Chain A
Amino acid sequence: MSDRLLVEARGLSKTYPARGGTPPFHAVNGIDFELTRGEAFGFLGPNGAGKSSTMRMLAAISPVSSGSLRVLGMDPAQDGPQIRARIGVVPQDDCLDRELTVRENLYVYGRYFGLKKQVINERIVGLLAFAQLEEKADAQVEMLSGGMRRRLTIARSLINEPEILLLDEPTTGLDPQARHVLWERLYRLKHDGVTLIITTHYMDEAEQLCDRLVVMDGGKIVAVGSPRQLIEAHITREVLELRFPVNAHAEIGERIRAAALGERTEVLPDRVAVYADDGEEALAQVRAMSLEPITALVRRATLEDVFLKLTGRSLID
């Protein structure tokens, strides 16, 4: 394994054994991927796609069921503590100690890595600044907002100066402003050379943060590439979205589909989506059919459209 290759997974699978009345559950079904130093890598997929299970295996906190996995050149089954010493984990629910202060949370966690008191206290100064929590250093975590808590969780995960940072749904449940603050912090980390692995079901987040991503569905990888590559490979440049009166929606949708405008037409429950490289031209063709939509919107194609095409489903149900 070269120094640049940080993670290598071949046929990686995770099966949770049968328990009580529930049959065994195949959360991850033989996935392959590689990750190089300095990348921001994303796992995009709906709930239950196998993203979190994959993350847990990468974090060496969940044994691999089959296939092979190397993290930082080591085998998680043999070298779990050594791997965990060099990575940072931001879990989906913060797992902070709400009764303790911001500073105490950072300190306690740092001790788990066997770091010396003085080293931790030095790092805490920088991490509080990074998380913009200097003024809250001695406040109980209970008193912090959701966005502050998430920033603290990220700061905590950096106490061991990790080479890889794993973030599981980092902005789920945050308001738009808090999300943007968090994204800005993550850019900064990336700029500082930290390799990021992010799971998300927000396509805007994946587009903003990830250099490269895999789309997961049902425990399998259905596509790999940069956000732009995925859009170019699987979808047209633009999308025309049309809305018609509810009672005529299905019938008109079928007429547009039959007319074969652009590359493809999706009749969704609430709208008709025409995938075309030139959305305005497609709209002119619709109007030429004597159809007048209530609303018509031409937009750039996104990962959401890629996901819809690949799986036939939306990312957020």
Chain B
Amino acid sequence: MPRGWYIFRYWMTMYRRTWRATIVISVVNPVLFLLGIGVGLGHIVGHGHSSLLHGVSYSAFFAPGLLAASAMQTGWIEGGFRVASAAGWIGAYRSAATTPLEPREILAGHLVFMLFRLVTSSAAFVVVMAVFGVASGWWVLAALPAAVLTGLAFATPVAAWAVTLSSPRQLQPLFRFVLMPMYLFSGTFFALHQLPVALRAIAYALPLSEGVALCRSLALGTASLFEVAWRSAYLLLFIVAGIAAARVTYPRRLHP
């Protein structure tokens, strides 16, 4: 067994104590959002703009966007707060670093756990979509790996940065000034081509926009192979860059 596996097992041991709380985030939040925004706002939006909505109901349009945005949020929590506190005051990384484990193994084991969290929370979301009848058949399953890619595209660069911090509080500006605006302007709630031209160029370049578009086109079954390849490659670029950066910052922090 690779040694990094024991780091994954450690995070699972910790998770056994908190999984109930994460169910709230993974299931109850999407239910509330789908009810409040999808059904409530969707009723006002109606079907008058069906060209913008790819001809589906607002709920069916909105749900895959929210799936991608939720994956981003999970990636942010797991890669950000969890990593910063493990490197800092909780000390989980520091105690593991005194054992035969190398920093890159500590990283690898934690990445596997982040993957696990993204797969399970996105799967819960997909189930909610199916129950609410906002999934267009089996295609919704294809949105699951897309959501996981989206989450990892955030988790890995954030982890590379978070491991260098002395306090999780230092993460807050990134959330306020980067993730929140991205949440609002990545086409989660509306179609990007509704935006003014100047904003559109920026919005299209945001990684969450790619994740939202990928999840949506797959969930609605409208994706072309080229589009899937291109958007996946864009997200993979972030994942690979994040891992490459973390392989530098983890040893620097854990073996100073």
Contact = CB atoms under 8 A, between A and B. Distances in A.
Nearest to A108: B10
A80 B251 CA distance: 12
B254 interface: yes
A154 interface: no
Interface residues of B, number: 23
A112 B96 contact: yes
Interface stretch (B44-52, B98-106, B113-121, B207-215): B98-106
A278 B158 CA distance: 66
B95 A109 contact: yes
Contacts of B13: 100, 104, 108
Contact of A84 (B9, B17, B90, B99): B99
Contact of B14 (A61, A80, A100): A100
Contacts of A89: 98
B100 A97 contact: no
Given A61-B97, A91-B95, A81 B10 contact: no
A61 B100 contact: no
A147 interface: no
A314 interface: no
Interface string B5-48: 01101100110010000000000000000000000000000000
A113 interface: yes
Nearest to A104: B13
Nearest to A93: B91
A112 B3 contact: yes
A116 to B, nearest CB: 11
Contact of B94 (A84, A95, A99, A114): A95
Contacts of B99: 84-85, 109, 112-113, 160
Interface string A92-108: 01111111100010001
B102 A114 contact: no
Given A84-B98, A114-B100, 4 more contacts: A63-B255, A82-B100, A97-B92, A112-B96
Interface of B: 3, 6-7, 9-10, 13-14, 17, 90-92, 94-102, 254-256
